[in-house]
Amino acid sequence: MSTKKNSRSATVPDGYRMDAQGRLVPIDMVKPIDLTRDELVVELIEKAKKLSLVITQFKADVFSQADGFVALSAAQYGASLGGKKGNVTLHSFDGRYKVLLATAENITFDERLQAAKALIDECINEWSESSRPEIKVLVGQAFQTDREGKLNTGRILGLRRLEIEDKRWKRAMQAIGESTQVVGSKRYVRFYERIGDSDEYRAISLDIAGA
C-alpha cells in the first residue's frame, strides 16, 4: 500500500485523509464538498507560496540594484557610502515613474515613559478646570494601546510638538525623548506611476489584499 505525506509531515495511507485533529478518515466517509474544498485550498496555497518566493526574490533584486545605483551615483563625487542606505526616490527620465526606497525605524520606549506619563497626569489633573479639551483628548489617545497591547509611538512623540511651558510638562517631554529607543529597522520599496499629465502619482500595488 502506497502512502503520502500531508502538511503535518505525517504518513497518510492511500484511501484516507487526515483531518484537523490528526485523525485518519477514510475518503469514502468524507463529503464530496469537503474534498473539493480541500483540493481548492491546497491548490491556491501552492500557487501563493510560489508567488511569495517570486516577490521575495524581486524585492531582494530591487534593493540590490537600487543600492548599486546609489553607490554608483555617489562615486561620481568621490563619495563612498557604507552601511544601510537611507531614504531615496528614483525617477524615470520622463518623470512618469518613480521608485521610493525607505527605511522605517522600529521605535519603543523604556521605563522612563512611565515617569513621563505620571508627570503628564499631574498636569492634566491640575489643569482639568481650565485646560483645552483638545489637549486632554490628545494625551488620552497618545497612551492608548492597540489590540496587541502596543503603544502608538507617533502619537506619543507627537506630544513633544505641543507648546506648553509648564516645567513638569517639559520634564515629561524630556523623559519621553530619553526613553525613546530604536530597536531595529525595516526597509521597504514602493512603486508609482504618474496619473496622466498631472503632478500626482498612483501607487503600483504589489499587495494582493489591496490590489
Listed by start position, the domains of the chain span: 86-211
Beta bridge partners of 191: 99
Who has greater pLDDT, 174 or 79? 174
* pTM beyond 0.85: no
Q: What is the mean pLDDT of residues 32-58?
A: 95
Please give the share of the chain, as a percent, with pLDDT higher than 90: 48
* Neighbour tally for 153: CB within 10 Å: 15
Mean pLDDT of the chain: 86
Residue 8 has pLDDT above 70, yes or no: no
145 vs 139: CA distance, rounded Å = 12
Beta strand 11-13 pairing with 16-18: unpaired
Who has greater pLDDT, 77 or 101? 101
Residue 129 has pLDDT above 80, yes or no: no
State the pLDDT confidence band at 1, using cuts at 50, 70 and 90.
very low
User: Which three cell numbers, joined as nine digits, stand for 48?
Assistant: 501563493
Question: CB under 8 Å to 110, separation ≥6 — which residues?
Answer: 179, 181
Q: How many helices (H) and strands (E) does the chain have?
A: 5, 8
- pLDDT given for residue 77 in this prediction: 83
Burial (CB count within 10 angstroms: exposed 0-12, middle 13-18, buried 19+), residue 175:
buried
- Which H or E run contains 82? none
The amino acid occupying position 148 is E
81 vs 75: CA distance, rounded Å = 9
The stretches of the chain forming alpha helices (DSSP H) are 32-75, 112-126, 133-142, 153-158, 167-179
